[in-house]
A and B are shown apart, each in its own frame.
Chain A
Amino acid sequence: MSVVQAQGLGLTFNTNDGPVHALSNVNLTIEKGEFVSFIGPSGCGKTTFLRVIADLEQPTDGTITVNGLSPREAREARGYGYVFQAAGLFPWRTIERNVALPLEIMGYPKVEIAQRIARTLDLVNLKGFEKKFPWQLSGGMQQRASIARALAFDADLLLMDEPFGALDEIVRDHLNEQLLQLWDRTNKTICFVTHSIPEAVYLSTKIVVMSPRPGRVTDVIESTLPKERPLDIRESPEFLAIAARVRDGLRAGHSYDD
């Protein structure tokens, strides 16, 4: 069974300046265990698509299923974890209480909450920072804590909306590497929105190239890179070939405009 299946998906926002076609005729299937990146310029609907999967926006056309359910049912079954652009940690809670937040809401028993906090903070290398408050941590650490929060409960699908967009290049490389390891260890399905071509190519098994006005998919690239990916794979000819294809796809989308 596919994790996400979209058919003829469209979403039109009615604004004061007339309708905005955020998504139009999107057909996409995401299989279990895939790492799918969505790349495209601002306004291409990549975040909107992620939000439709998460039932934070309702489509106006077509159908979409998440884990075989409607997005609403999938959300109510706590079928996915969502990582936002900013860490969004609650400043009045320590790091461990932030990670515990979804577990408290979902009614996990106390003992299990403690175990899961320890396990997920270990997974994102934040051991020893349990009692710190978010504002005592760097931006990269905050974002790792927010990933831990999304991993704390057992959702097989992880939706990530430009999670590293606000971080500097060095921290970003480091977190990309860690994210790949984490994906390898947990065997989750990851949907990852990004602006960055190298990030998309480095991380993904599948790259979805999108273009704006109306937001649509222009190319779907299956990556031929091996699962084991050291950072210097980014200089290999294979990597550069995929990156070139992504860039072509983006350019094709842009020529539509001007």
Chain B
Amino acid sequence: MSGLRVSWQGGLAALLALAALLMLPIAEPSAGGPSVTAAILLLVALAIAVDAAPAGTMVRAAALLVGAHAGVYLLLGDLGSVNGAARGAFYLLLVSCWLLAWRLVSVLSSIRAASRTGEVALRLVIPFLFGVWILVLWEAIVRGAGIPFVLLPPPSAIAARIGNSLPILAADVNQTIFKAVLVGYVMGCGAGFLAAIAADRFVFMRRGLLPVGNMVSALPIIGVAPIMVMWFGFDWQSKAAVVVIMTFFPMLVNTGAGLAASGHMERDLMRTYASGYWQTLFKLRLPAAMPFIFNALKINSTLALIGAIVAEFFGTPVVGMGFRISTEVGRMNVDMVWAEIAVAALAGSVFYGVIALLERAVTFWHPSIRGG
């Protein structure tokens, strides 16, 4: 039986809550009134007390979870619809709740999961809480300090905009991601890959193409977007062309490096079998190049998204993520801009994640993946 053990986050949270008590009210005007203020202080105090008590890890984590999140929920509610109503006590209690969430994450991080599902759940929950608190602090500061909407809308307004504009967002994603990005990505990566093989096979290609490719890669590729619009028209084809140009070179260079990555001994071994060029390529050099090729695929997944969105700034039909961003910012609808950015971030993460999963399956043998 150990006595009370107050963590530094808990202690500091308690001090801040006490200071807040002296600086009430939380907001001017206060939407919730004294009863809500009392509830917030009670929740925070309870969480600190349970965390300090000799209770089980799960009990402490549950108390911290409820205390930090219910507390901050009530706190935000107390602001009401008036922006810039927050007073000193608001920020003190906000930091106090945030410290409790911090404490929660460190309690969770110290748990040794007994089962595999528990381990996976923990690995997801911790970054999720982290992300949630970035949004919470963003929301609280923007609304509490009354930051103008056009400068930075609160996440709740962006979420509401996403919820209200699902058909538009879906049409934009379809136009930009499923047409321009995917088609351009497949063509650009495929062409880069084949060019690397050709450069490996034929000396004149290696001598001629690679130096020219090096120069092309130094061009500000986004500058060719207007030219692509003239060549391929306003629709997604011109954006796909920009993506092709952007993704071609990283794939060419990485595949080239990958083909050179197999060891001398392994190549000598293939030679002792009197193996031909293509047999050596398929059985040794391409498998050995896979980590490099996946590197290019991952780099290109983000490049393709950037390329397609920015290319739409230069002329497009009235649909597409880049089109929406450039027109809505002109109309001061920044919540729509942020909504598109959020959707693009989500799409980019999914794209990257799928390729990373594929990489794990294909290069399972590489020390960086099997670990050791």
State how many angstroms separate the Cβ of A67 from the closest Cβ of chain B. 14
Q: CB-nearest residue of chain B relative to A106? A: B273
Question: Mask for A36-56, Cβ within 8 A of B = 1, else 0?
Answer: 000000000000000000111
Contacts of A77 in B (CB 8 A): 274
Known: A105-B279, A133-B365. Is A88-B263 also a contact (CB below 8 A)?
Answer: yes
Say yes or no: A82 contacts B283, CB within 8 Å. no
Q: Which interface residue of A86, A91, A135 has the most chain B CB atoms within 10 A?
A: A91
Q: CB-nearest residue of chain A relative to B287? A: A92
Contacts of B366 in A (CB 8 A): 91
List B residues 263-288 near A (Cβ within 8 Å).
263, 265-266, 268-275, 279, 283-284, 287
Question: Mask for B345-372, Cβ within 8 A of A = 1, else 0?
Answer: 0000000000000000001111100101
Q: Which interface residue of A55, A85, A90, A104 has the most chain B CB atoms within 10 A?
A: A90
Known: A91-B366, A104-B283. Is A84-B274 also a contact (CB below 8 A)?
Answer: no
Given the complex of chains A and B, what is the CA–CA distance between A54 and B272 in angstroms? 7
State how many angstroms separate the Cβ of A54 from the closest Cβ of chain B. 6
Given the complex of chains A and B, what is the CA–CA distance between A91 and B273 in angstroms? 19
List A residues 52-82 near B (Cβ within 8 Å).
54-56, 75-78, 80-82
Known: A90-B287, A105-B283. Is A56-B274 also a contact (CB below 8 A)?
Answer: no
Say yes or no: B283 contacts A75, CB within 8 Å. no
Known: A88-B263, A88-B265, A135-B370. Is A75-B365 also a contact (CB below 8 A)?
Answer: no
Q: CB-nearest residue of chain B relative to A134? A: B365
Contact with B365, one of A81, A85, A92, A106 (Cβ below 8 angstroms): A92
Say yes or no: B272 contacts A56, CB within 8 Å. yes
Given the complex of chains A and B, what is the CA–CA distance between A135 and B363 in angstroms? 13
List A residues 106-156 near B (Cβ within 8 Å).
106, 133, 135
Contact with B274, one of A78, A81, A92, A101 (Cβ below 8 angstroms): A78
Q: CB-nearest residue of chain A relative to B370? A: A135
Contact with B268, one of A76, A84, A104 (Cβ below 8 angstroms): A84
Say yes or no: A82 contacts B269, CB within 8 Å. yes
Given the complex of chains A and B, what is the CA–CA distance between A54 and B284 in angstroms? 20
List A residues 6-35 near B (Cβ within 8 Å).
none
Chain A, interface SS category: loop
Interface residues on A, range: 20 to 34
Known: A88-B265, A133-B365. Is A78-B284 also a contact (CB below 8 A)?
Answer: no
Contacts of A91 in B (CB 8 A): 365-366
Q: How many residues of B contact A (CB 8 A)?
A: 23
Given the complex of chains A and B, what is the CA–CA distance between A107 and B14 in angstroms? 76
Say yes or no: B370 contacts A82, CB within 8 Å. no
Q: Which interface residue of B269, B275, B287, B370 has the most chain A CB atoms within 10 A?
A: B269
Contacts of B372 in A (CB 8 A): 135
Q: Which interface residue of A56, A84, A92 has the most chain B CB atoms within 10 A?
A: A92
Contact with B273, one of A56, A78, A90, A133 (Cβ below 8 angstroms): A78
Contacts of A101 in B (CB 8 A): 273, 283
Q: CB-nearest residue of chain B relative to A84? A: B265
Contacts of A82 in B (CB 8 A): 268-269, 272
Given the complex of chains A and B, what is the CA–CA distance between A106 and B276 in angstroms? 10
Say yes or no: B272 contacts A135, CB within 8 Å. no
Contacts of B266 in A (CB 8 A): 88, 90
Given the complex of chains A and B, what is the CA–CA distance between A76 and B273 in angstroms? 8
Contacts of A86 in B (CB 8 A): 265
Contacts of A80 in B (CB 8 A): 272
Contacts of A102 in B (CB 8 A): 273
Given the complex of chains A and B, what is the CA–CA distance between A76 and B279 in angstroms? 14
Say yes or no: B284 contacts A90, CB within 8 Å. yes
State how many angstroms separate the Cβ of B289 from the closest Cβ of chain A. 11
Contacts of A90 in B (CB 8 A): 266, 283-284, 287
State how many angstroms separate the Cβ of B268 from the closest Cβ of chain A. 5
Say yes or no: B272 contacts A75, CB within 8 Å. yes
Given the complex of chains A and B, what is the CA–CA distance between A55 and B273 in angstroms? 11
Given the complex of chains A and B, what is the CA–CA distance between A77 and B263 in angstroms? 24
Given the complex of chains A and B, what is the CA–CA distance between A88 and B265 in angstroms? 7
- 20 A-B residue pairs with Cβ-Cβ distance under 8 Å, sorted by A, are A76-B274, A77-B274, A78-B273, A82-B272, A84-B265, A84-B269, A88-B265, A90-B266, A91-B365, A91-B366, A92-B287, A92-B364, A101-B273, A102-B273, A105-B275, A105-B279, A105-B283, A133-B365, A135-B367, A135-B370
Give residues in A with beta carbon < 8 Å to B: 54-56, 75-78, 80-82, 84-86, 88, 90-92, 101-102, 104-106, 133, 135
Q: Kindly list the 3 A-B residue pairs having the minimum CB-CB distance in the complex, ordered from nearest.
A: A91-B365, A82-B272, A92-B365
Give residues in B with beta carbon < 8 Å to A: 263, 265-266, 268-275, 279, 283-284, 287, 290, 363-367, 370, 372
> Given A56-B271, A90-B284, 13 more contacts at CB 8 Å?
A55-B271, A56-B268, A75-B274, A76-B274, A78-B273, A78-B274, A80-B272, A85-B265, A92-B290, A92-B364, A105-B270, A105-B274, A105-B283
